[in-house]
A and B are shown apart, each in its own frame.
Chain A
Amino acid sequence: MRTAVTRPAGTPFVRSMLAVVWKDLAAEWRSKEILSSMLVFALLVILIFNFALELDASARREATAGILWVTLAFAGTLGLNRSMAVEKDRGCLDGLLLAPVDRTAIYFGKSIANWLFMLSVALIVLPVYSILYNVNLFNPGLLMVILLGSEGYVAIGTLLSSMAVQTRMRDILLPILLFPVIIPVVLASVKASYGYLQGSAMTDIQPWITLLVASDLIFTAVAFMVFDYVVEE
C-alpha cells in the first residue's frame, strides 16, 4: 500500500450521487436487465389493453391517459424491484452503506437512475401506443406530466423498494406498499394527461398539476428524511 493517502473530511454530496448514477447506468448498459424487462412488460400491457378493450376512436382518446399510466406504473414496479435487488443480492448495498458518504446521496443517485430508466421506457412506449391506438401523444403538456409523474413515482418507489428488498417477500411486497401510497401521483397524472390530450382549458388542468408537484415535493422530502433510518439495521 502507498504510504500516504489524502483523506477529505467527507465525499461531496453531488459527487457521491453522480457516482451512484454512473454506476447504475454503466451496469444497465451492460446487462440491459432492467430496461428490457420494463419495456417488454409495458409493451405487452398496452397490447393486451388494445385487444381486450376493442375501443372506438373516441373511447380510445378517453381511455388513453388511464392506460398509459397503468402501463408506466406496472412497468415501473418491475424496474424499482430489480434496481434494488441488484444491490442486495451480492451484498453491494452494504458496500454502499460502508462508504463515507451522506446516505441520502445514495438515495438520490438510485432515484435519478430509476427516473432515467422510467423515462426511457416512456420514450419507447409513447410512439408504439400512438401507432396502436391511433392517438397523437406528442403533446408538450403530456410530456411534462410524464416527467413530473414519473419523478413522484420513483421518489417514493425507490424508498419503498429499499425497505421491501430487505424482506423475503420483496417481489410482492413492493406493489403492496407502493400502490396505495402512489394514488395521488397516479390520479393527478391521469387527470392532467387527460386534460392535455382532450385540449381542456388550463384552469381545469392546473389543480392536477399543482397536486402532482406537491406530491413530488412531499415524497422527495419524506424519502430524504427517512432513507437513513430505512437502511439502518
Chain B
Amino acid sequence: MVEQTPPMIQVQKLVKRFGLKTVLRSLDFSVQPGEFVALLGPNGAGKTTFLRILSSLSSPTLGTVTISGYSLPGQAAAVRRRLGVVSHLPLLYGDLSAEENLTFYGRLYAVEGLKARIDEVLEIVGLAPRRRDLVRTFSRGMQQRLAIGRAILHDPDVLLLDEPHTGLDQDACAMLDEVLRQVSGLGRTVVMTSHDLARAEDLASRFDILSRGRIQASVKAEDLPVNGLLAFYRESLRAADSRPRHEVAA
C-alpha cells in the first residue's frame, strides 16, 4: 500500500466575497510537496485574490486553507514563516541597497547567520556584484531577481508567485526562469499565476485553470502532449463557459 503524503497546500470550499461580488466560489485546491503549479486563467478570474488568501494578506469569507499543516487565518504567523511571496510589485525599498533590503527582511524573519545567508542569496539571484547599489538604480529585471532573493531568504517551504514575469524583457524573463528552476529543483513547492502559457509550460509540473471563481481543470505536465497547454487551456475555458450559470454559482 502506498502511503499518501499530506498536501503542502490544502484549500477546501473557499469562498471570497467583496461586498456583493463573489470572486471565489467554493474553490478546492491541493498541492503536494515539491510540486510546481501554474495557476492560469483570464483576467478577473480571481488568481490574485486566491494568492493573497494563500499568503495570509486577505481572509477567506468561507472555507478552510491549510499550508504546511497550519490553518489560515488562525495560525497566520506560522504560515508566514513558511511562505515566500513574489508579486508583480518588488516589495523592496528603493532608497536602501540590495544588501540593506535583505538585511531588513532577514531581521523581520529572524534569519540565523544572516550575513552568510545574504551572501548566498545574492549569489543565487546573480546580484552579488551590485549588493551595495541602491535598489532604485536597478532595472526592472534586477529588482524582480532581488524580490525572489527576498522571498527565499528565510528558506520557505512554499513560494507563491503572482505574475512574476510582468514587465520584464526576454533576457530578464530567462534569468528569472533560471532562478525559479533552481528554487524548484531544491524541492520547494511553488504556485505561480501567469498569463504566459509558454513560460508556464516550460516551468511547471502541473497546470490548473481558474475561471469563474473555481478550478475548472487540472492536468500534470507529463499528461499533456508537447505544446499542448494552449489547447488544454482553451478547451477548459470553453467547457467552463458552456456550463449553466446555476451550476457555476452553486
Task: Using CB atoms and an 8 Å cutoff, list the residues of chain A in contact with chain B.
Answer: 1-2, 5-8, 10-12, 15-16, 19, 22-23, 26-28, 30-31, 86, 90-92, 94-101, 232-233
Contact = CB atoms under 8 A, between A and B. Distances in A.
Given A5-B154, A30-B134, A98-B83, A90 B94 contact: yes
A99 B80 CA distance: 6
B6 to A, nearest CB: 19
Nearest to A232: B59
* B interface: dominant SS: loop
A33 to B, nearest CB: 8
Given A98-B56, A233-B59, A90 B78 contact: no
Given A2-B117, A30-B134, A90 B89 contact: yes
Most A CB contacts (10 A, CB to CB) among B95, B100, B124, B150 go to B95
Contacts of A92: 91-93
Contact of B93 (A12, A23, A232, A233): A23
Given A2-B117, A5-B154, 16 more contacts: A1-B152, A7-B81, A8-B110, A10-B77, A15-B110, A23-B96, A28-B95, A31-B95, A91-B91, A92-B91, A95-B91, A97-B57, A98-B55, A99-B105, A100-B80, A101-B77
Nearest to B187: A1
Given A2-B120, A94-B57, A99-B105, A27 B89 contact: no
B80 A30 contact: no
A1 B93 contact: no
Contact of A2 (B52, B83, B155, B183): B155
Contacts of A232: 59
A11 B91 contact: no
Contacts of B95: 26-28, 30-31
B111 interface: yes
Nearest to A29: B95
Nearest to A106: B108
24 contacts: A1-B183, A7-B81, A11-B107, A11-B108, A16-B108, A19-B108, A22-B107, A23-B104, A26-B96, A26-B100, A30-B134, A90-B92, A92-B91, A95-B91, A95-B105, A95-B150, A96-B108, A98-B80, A98-B83, A99-B80, A100-B77, A100-B78, A233-B58, A233-B59
